[in-house]
Structures are given as structure tokens and as C-alpha cells.
A and B are shown apart, each in its own frame.
Chain A
């Protein structure tokens, strides 16, 4: 990119943005060259930081006129490269639009700008006895705008839903710079319900500029029980038994032996390092409800073959039980130079088959894998341990990751439960969806953004991309899993 074009465009944006809100110096631009998936890097032409909706509209009008691709960005915590810049385009950072505009206690909602951090919402309404339920592990840093773009999840999804289930209204700016709104505070939508299309659309259908979130009353009581198992199968079956009993835990998480060891080394939560698997199960609600159910869960864990169960005695111990799980990623980061986090979802009944498959692949590739698992909703996070300084190891890791995702599809699951497709999983999209299904996605995108300037090259692979992927992965004319049931 020629310096003169960059300078000319920067001057154009500075006509309506404060000078410091147009980033054009290469050293400053480097801050934005990747998101949470740091293996992918790209310096953008410019970074723009609008401070209000009108400025976002003006930015979009200039980008239309100049045919500039636009990559919107919150805190840049995406794990799938959703906010990876475009070499010929601008990064539109919503970080400066970070005000909580309104809290309505009676209606239990908050109207916020997209750059407000996820956790900041709950902190702001805590004194009212309310909170915002979705809690992705990056919640200290990630923004609500990014949560909407990715339909972010967290450990409490099974009971409280994804971002989609906790959004009441959205205000967006279209690629042409027009404002459009979806308002479902009345629990009704006129015509088509566009909210599910927009939530999780990875910045390809519009720029989120205002979000109305649902607030819930803070549960009065939360208790945690841990089950220790000598096999992952028994742990998996115990999850099924708990759910078959009619209990919906607030969170139910599984860790396998490598993940337990890494976490214990890091936070010393007194995890049983010899165990093949542990389950951490949290129940919340009124005290009466929780106390009756936690006893039942403990019994079900024992019946399911737990060698030991531990009931957190107090709030401090509850947090200690969680600390190892919450620190699982950085803990793995301590025992390996690099790790790569996979995000497949499977029907729970396929857990042991998938984990054996992952073990076999791990041996085949000579790379260790630790598994953490949102066991209630089937969302599996294998963490592949590797060293990027070893020649070719990143490529090998990505190939192993791709094989694991295809294994998830093979067992009736999906390639991404909560991290999004981004640039990372474009190839696997070609396996999960047929050509006509992908065409439908492209057609929907064109309804919202005929100019195709919003986050181009992400989430939905082109025909050419799939032809390339299939050429690499089809052996003797067969896809890896010819009997694949894609549903």
C-alpha cells in the first residue's frame, strides 16, 4: 500500500474524526494486526476509532465511496481471526463507544454502546441485584459488540443461553451508512426475525452501534460439587444421568487428565492429579431448590462411578473449585510454548468416541492434547500443545485441529460452538455445508451488504476456497468421511 494513499485517506477521515482517532503510523497500526488468534497477522491501511453513531455512518459512507473493506473490532479477543485486518481496508474499532446509556430496573434491561466490556455491564447493575448472564472466558476484556458479532457463549449457556438469548434490541449501521434497528423488547418481531441472522454474523451484515441487553436477577444461592472419575466415559455418562433426572445445572464442566495436571500445577486448587476426568457441577437458584438438587447430583455422581465427590463448603471453596477450570487455558500455556484451542461441539453421547479419536490423532501427529469440555452443551475445547519455533509445527497443529473438527462433524456435531469461523475454519465450512447452502449464506450477505465491504473473506468460504480445500483433503476421490451425515 502506497504511503500517499494512506495519507490521503487519513486526511479524508480526519475531516470528521479527531486526529488521534485516525491511526496511520505503522508502529501504532501494528497493535491491531491480529486478534486472539495471533498466528494470523496483517497490517491494515488505517484504524479508525469513531466516538458516536454519526461518525460510524460517515466512516461507512467514505468506505463505500472509496470501496474500502471494513473490519469492525471490539477488544480483539476473537479466537478465530474474526477481527484480522484486511490489507487494503480499515479496521473500525468501536472501543471508544463504551458508555452505558441506560439502565431500566423495572424492565430489567440496559442499553449500551458496543465497546462496553461484557463484565462492566454486570458490575454496573450489581447494586440493583441484576446481572448480564453470558460469560465468555474473556469477559473481563471482551466487548458486548464483539459478543453480538460472535454470538459468544460461556460456562453458563446450558441454563442461561448464548448472547442471542440475552439480547432484546440492536441498532446497526449498514454498509451504506444507514441506521437500521431490530427491537424485540415486546418479544415480537414484525416480518422476519432478523436477530438470529445478525447475532453471530461476524461483522459481515452490519456494524453494531447500540445493544439492548436483558438483565436477570442474581441467583440467591450457588453451590458446586466436584466428581472425580477414573475414566472420561464414566464422567460423560454421569452428565447424561444428571440431565436425564431433569436437572439443568448452571454450569457443568469436564477436564481430562492433562488439563487437570496443568491446572493444578498452576493454581493449586487441590485437584486430583491422578484422575482421568473431573466434573465440576454448579447449581443455582433459590436456596431451597439448590439444596434439594445438589444432594441428588452428588448421589448421581456416585452412582455413575465417581471415586470421590467433593461439595464446596463455602463461597471461597466454590471459587477455588472453579479457579482451576477458569485458568485452564493459561495453565496449558505454562507447560507448552504455544497452544491452539479448538472449538467443536458434539452430541454428548459421542463424547467417548470423539475423545478416543482425538487421542489417536494426537498420537499420529505426535502432539499432546489437553481437553476441557462444556459438558452440558457438548462444546469441546481440545488444546493442542506445540512449539511455533519448531519448523512446520504450526502447520502440523492446524492440520490436526482441522482433523479434530472434521471428526466433530462426522459425529453429528459442528466445527464451532462459540468461537466463530473467522479465517480459521473457512476450510471446514466446506465440509460442514454443501455448495447450495454456502450459496444461500452468500445471498443473505448480499441482501445486507451488496458492496461486500463488511469483513470480506471471513466466515463463509468462496467456491474457489472450497475447491482448494477439497483438492488438499480429498484422497483418491473421497472426502475424509464419505458416509458423513452433515446434519
Chain B
């Protein structure tokens, strides 16, 4: 048994949305508030959806859990752990009150992202409340499903701008038998990048990578025999795991007094940023800078190699948080937003103006 509250406030939320829509209002959807910093700040009527809680269906042998979006992420992870299962994408909490809805809406994944997939890859179905006050369901509770456009996965990372996520079905994976952390010395970012990408051409059981301050860390996950064999072959020193601290951005690198910038690049990108203090994870795809930086210059560098830059946290209010889109793409995305939320009720401007 689990201790997750069973509370269904779907009807209240629906009538609230209908009345806001009728009066031309705007709302900010709030779950646990742990990721409220993420995106452009906005002023609208806060609507707390964290009360909509409960497990709708969980049969471990099906590898799928269906839950109301207000469930606390930490409680759901504890429930999964009881059945030796977990979310493959290792979501960050950034606070005790983080909810499942916020996890999906933010689309933020942790150290295992590059090796097991992102939230998008595991979401199977959603129930949403849209800007017309309609409750719609997309996707389902099964792993293979190609009926209709895949709207459920579009919700991942949409930051609440398309509607209120009421319920979500997510594929889960078995927990690993064992994990081991290995450390290696690499005195430059580019040396780490080349090394970690070369490792990718062999089927090693790697589930996370990190480079900071001249040291590479590697996490191996899998069966005891598989991990032991890989550890023997790869060498390195056994090290203390720090993956939870990395996921929650609690390592010393993440200085609370400095703006935090996320740089996303094709993983094997070298000859960029090599001499700047940074933290690199996801096999090279995700890099963090914790310092005052020149955002436009970084954006122009990233665009040149197929990447993007997010002014993630603690930047000045007038900085565009997300990497600007080409005009035609912005137009397309605005039309998609309007198709769900024609009056622009939900989290207006959270991602871009008009989105």
C-alpha cells in the first residue's frame, strides 16, 4: 500500500477554467512550485493544481503507472522503489513539493537522460484540461500506440502553456541490480568529450557521466556481472557517487550567488568553450556555466553547431530565458498553442511571447 492521497478535484478545476475563460482572464498553473523559476516570469492568477492527487493504476508487471498530476514526485518514486522500479529519466525534484505534473510540464531530466531517454520517451498518455474547458485524453496506457497524433508527448516541456495536465501514464523501468561510480583524470573539457563519446561505440552499461574541474566520473548500472566486467575493462578509480547531488544541482559547482546557464550541444562538439569553467553531463550534450556570461555570444556559438542556450536560473529579468526560434517556427508553435488555448489563458508568455 502507498500513502499517496486520493483526491479528485477535476470538476473544480474545470469550472474554474471555464469561468476564467469566460472573463478573459489568465492563470499561472502551480503544482509544488519547485520549478516555478524555469521560464519567463509572468503575472497571472495562480491556480494550485497540486491537490489533484492519487494513483489511478499501477501494476508493476505492466511497467506502466497512471497517476493524477498533483502526486508528489518523491512519494511516487518511493512507491516505485518498493517494487524495484523507477523513472528511467531520473527527474530532478528541486524541492520537496515537486509534483508529477510539474515534472512532465518542465520536461527536465537528470543524469540518466543521455543513456536511457528523456521524459518524452517514457510518457504514454495524458488527460488534459484545455482552454475550451474540455477534458481530452491522448495516447493511452500501453507501450506501443500509434493511434492519432502523439499529443501526450507534446505536453512534455510545454510548461503548462497548452493546458492543465490532469493525469499522465508513464512507462517505468526496473531498478538496476547494482551501480558503481568510476573516476578518471581529464585535464580539459575536450579530452573528456572525446573520451566519453569514444566509449559510446561499445555497449558498456553506462548510465551517467560528469566532468568538472579536471575529473570525469562515470556511473555503471546493470547486473553485478555486467558492471564488474565493465569496471575491469574500463579502469579508473572507484569513487563516491554524487549523482543525486548532480541531479538536484547541489554540487559545489552550482553557486547560488551566480547566474546559471545551460548549454545544449551535439554531444561530440569540441573546440568550443574548452577553456571556460563548466560542468558537463549527458555524454557532452548538456553543459552548465555558473558565472556572469554573455548570452547573445553563447547563443551565436551554439547556433553554429546545432545547439541552444537557456538562461536557466538567476539571470536578469529582461534576458530571454529560452533560445529564440526562427520566425517561421515561432509562428508554427504559436498556432499550436492557439489550437489548445485560443484565448491564451494558460501561463501566458512562459516560453516565448505568445507561447
Contacts and interface: CB of A to CB of B under 8 A. Distances in A.
A158 B335 contact: no
B82 interface: no
A415 B149 contact: no
A285 B322 CA distance: 39
B173 A129 contact: no
Interface in B254-285: 264-268, 282, 285
A44 B241 CA distance: 62
Contact of A196 (B134, B153, B323): B153
Contact of B138 (A162, A180, A437): A437
Interface string A97-115: 0000000111110000000
Contacts of A189: 157
B271 to A, nearest CB: 13
A191 B325 contact: yes
Contacts of B197: 106-108
A295 B322 CA distance: 50
Contacts of A130: 201
B336 interface: yes
A379 interface: yes
Interface string A229-249: 000000000001101101110
Interface string A246-278: 111000000000000000000000000000000
Nearest to A187: B285
Interface in B130-163: 130, 132, 134, 136-138, 140-154, 156-158, 162
Contacts of B226: 285-286, 288-289, 292
B236 interface: no
Interface stretch (B18-26, B116-124, B181-189): B116-124
A183 interface: yes
By size class, the interface of chain B is 35 or more
Given A199-B150, A286-B229, A345 B142 contact: yes
B135 to A, nearest CB: 8
B118 A187 contact: yes
Interface in B157-211: 157-158, 162, 167, 169, 173-175, 177, 194, 197-198, 200-203, 205
B284 to A, nearest CB: 9
B148 A196 contact: no
Given A246-B174, A288-B226, A412-B140, A193 B157 contact: yes
Given A194-B154, A220-B203, A288-B226, A447 B335 contact: yes
B329 interface: yes
Contacts of A35: none
A227 B328 CA distance: 55
Interface in A460-487: 460, 486-487
A401 interface: no
Contacts of B228: 288
Nearest to A486: B137
Contacts of A433: 147-148
Contacts of A416: 145-147
Interface residues of A, number: 95
Contacts of B229: 286, 288
Contacts of A285: 203, 205, 222, 226
B143 A349 contact: no
24 contacts: A106-B201, A106-B268, A107-B266, A108-B201, A157-B143, A165-B117, A178-B328, A186-B265, A186-B285, A186-B306, A187-B282, A192-B154, A193-B156, A248-B174, A289-B223, A292-B226, A418-B144, A418-B146, A419-B146, A432-B147, A433-B147, A440-B339, A444-B336, A446-B335
Given A186-B266, A196-B154, A289-B205, 10 more contacts: A186-B267, A190-B325, A191-B322, A192-B333, A200-B150, A378-B143, A413-B140, A420-B146, A443-B339, A487-B66
Interface of B: 59-64, 66, 84, 107, 113-114, 117-118, 120-121, 125, 127, 130, 132, 134, 136-138, 140-154, 156-158, 162, 167, 169, 173-175, 177, 194, 197-198, 200-203, 205, 222-226, 228-230, 264-268, 282, 285-286, 306-308, 310, 322-325, 328-330, 332-333, 335-337, 339-340, 351-352, 355
- 4 tightest A-B contacts by CB? A246-B174, A196-B153, A289-B226, A188-B264
Interface of A: 104-108, 128-130, 150-151, 153, 157-158, 161-162, 164-165, 178, 180, 183, 185-197, 199-201, 205, 216-220, 240-241, 243-244, 246-248, 285-286, 288-289, 291-293, 345-349, 374, 377-379, 412-421, 425, 429, 432-434, 436-438, 440-441, 443-448, 459-460, 486-487
